[in-house]
Amino acid sequence: MRPLIGITCSRRIVEGWGPDSPGDTIDYTFEEYSKAICRSGGAPMLIPIAQSRETLQTILGQMNGLLLSGGPDIHPKSYDEQPLPELGEVDEDLDRMELEIAKMAFQGNLPILAICRGVQVLNVSRGGTLYQDIPTQVRDSINHLQNVDKTIQTHIVRIEGKTLLHRILRRREIWVNGKHHQAIKDLAPDFIVSARARDGIIEAVEHPSKLFVLGVQWHPEGTWEKDPYSKKLFRAFVQATINLIRKNPRRRK
């Protein structure tokens, strides 16, 4: 039996069924997330946005791990700020669902892997804040929003020693494929920084007292097929969910 791992969806409006339809809303996520989980030994399941707290509790009760996926900007009202002109697309229903499920998974000690928007959701869910727009808020920042394919590595991150991320990757520097204009500003209480870009932007965080709560600002799902460090990250996450099952066999459904 493979561990069941939930992957949060984003949503978009697509062409409607009829000629007069204003359009239909669909939940979606990119297939690379599911492929990476499958190839790493897990069983992926997508989590749509239209949820209540009760349904999220039911879903998490079946899951052995949670992957918070990439997506649009987080509305700054989630961390008590007014929106700047550079704020991009937001989806408050998505914010509500992901912030809620992140809190619940954290409190339930589920392994969490948070990617791009996901690491921002994780940080905000635990009381942290964000830069709404790196170029206008961080002096001398590098280009974190390069217009390249997701398979292209765009900049270097420096990994802190004696962290979970360092134990997984066994490197102090790697190239990553970041593509974002928001980032963590104030780190959530009790989290630690496990990697930064050379301009100081936080690129990875983790919670040292949890079995596996790790977030990265880049997109390992875009490079997992060829990049050894992306493979290691997904395999470590899935292994953490397996370890959880071994410690608590009742979680195997």
Q: Catalytic annotation on 9?
A: no
Closest C-alpha among 116, 101, 180, 183 to residue 147: 180
Q: Catalytic annotation on 166?
A: no
> Which string of DSSP letters, residue by residue, matches the chain?
-PPEEEEE-EEEEE--SSTT---EEEEE--HHHHHHHHHTT-EEEEE-S---HHHHHHHHHH-SEEEE---SBPPGGGGT-PPPTT---B-HHHHHHHHHHHHHHHHTT--EEEETHHHHHHHHHTT--EES-HHHHSTT---SS--S-TTS--EEEEEPTTSHHHHHH--SEEEE----S-EESSPPTT-EEEEEETTS-EEEEE-TTSSSEEEESS-GGGTTTT-HHHHHHHHHHHHHHHHHHHH-GGG--
Number of Cβ within 10 Å of residue 153's Cβ equals: 17
Sign of torsion over alpha carbons 156, 157, 161, 163: negative
Closest C-alpha among 138, 97, 146, 139 to residue 121: 97
Separation between Cα atoms, residue 223 and residue 115, nearest integer Å: 13
| 32, 98, 116, 207: the active-site residue | 116
- Tell me which residues are annotated as active site: 116, 219, 221
